[in-house]
Structure 1
Amino acid sequence: MAEPSANLDTTKVEDTDRHASKMAKKKAARDKIMASKSGEKGLIIVHTGAGKGKSSSGFGMVLRCIAHGMPCAVVQFIKGAWDTGERRLLEGNFSDLCQFHAMGEGFTWETQDKERDIAAARAGWEKAKDLIRNPEIQFVLLDEINIALRYDYLDINEVLTFLIDEKPPLTHVVLTGRNAKEALIEAADLVTEMTLVKHPFRSGIKGQRGVEF
Structure 2
Amino acid sequence: MTDDTARHNEKMAKKKAARDKIMATKSGEKGLIVVHTGKGKGKSSAAFGMIFRCIAWDMPCAVVQFIKGGMESGEKKLITEKFADICPFYAMGEGFTWETQDRARDIEMAQAAWEKAKELIRDTRNKMVLLDEINIALRYEYLDIDAVIAFLKDEKPPMTHVVLTGRNAHEKLLDIADLATEMELLKHPFRGGIKAQRGVEF
Asked if TM exceeds 0.5, the reply is: yes
Aligned residue pair count: 202
Which of 84, 89, 96 aligns to 2:78? It is 89
The partner residue of 2:94 within 91, 105, 111 is 105
Q: 1:70 matched to which residue of 2?
A: 59
Shift of the alpha carbon at 1:115?
A: 0.3
- Counterpart of 1:54? 43
**C-alpha distance in 2 between matches for 1:95 and 1:119:** 25
The offset of 1:96, in angstroms, is 1.3
**Distance (whole Å) between structure 1 residues aligned to residue 12 and residue 196 of structure 2:** 44
Could you tell me which of 156, 159, 172 is aligned with 1:167? 156
1:37 to 26, 41, 66: 26
Distance in 2 between residues matched to 1:112 and 1:34, nearest whole Å = 51
Cα distance between partner residues in 2 of 1:163 and 1:138 = 14
Selected match of 2:125 from 136, 146, 155 = 136
Post-superposition CA distance 1:11-65 (Å, at most 9, x none): x611111111110000000000000000000000000000000000000110011
Gaps of 5+ in 1: 1-11
Give, in whole Å, the separation in 2 of the partners of 1:203 and 1:13.
Answer: 50
Note the C-alpha offset of 1:166.
0.4
Find the aligned partners of 1:128 and 1:205 in 2 and give their Cα distance.
34
Q: Which stretches in structure 2 are left out of the alignment for 5+ residues?
A: none
- Code of the residue aligned with 1:85 in structure 2: it is G
TM-score (norm 2): 0.99
CA distance in 2, matches of 1:26, 1:204: 46
Aligned to 1:74, the other structure's residue is in SS state strand
* 2:107 counterpart of 1:118: yes
Structure 1 counterpart of 2:36, one-letter code: H
Report the Cα offset of residue 83 of structure 1. 1.0
Alpha-carbon deviation of 1:98?
A: 0.4
Letter in 2 for 1:104: G
Choose from 135, 144, 147 the match for 2:136. Answer: 147
Amino acid at match of 2:63: V
Q: Give the share of equivalent positions with the same residue, in percent.
A: 71
Give the aligned partner of residue 16 of structure 2. Answer: 27
Pair 1:194 & 2:180 matched: no
TM-score normalised by L of structure 1: 0.94
Q: Match of 2:9, as an amino acid?
A: A
Give me the CA root mean square deviation.
Answer: 0.6
CA distance in 2, matches of 1:200, 1:20: 42
Rounded Cα–Cα distance in structure 2 between residues aligned with 1:19 and 1:161: 50
Match of 1:210 in 2: 199
Separation in 1 of the partners of 2:94 and 2:80? 19
Which contiguous aligned blocks of 4+ residues in structure 1 show a shift greater than 4 angstroms?
none
Q: Distance in 2 between matches of 1:211 and 1:41?
A: 32
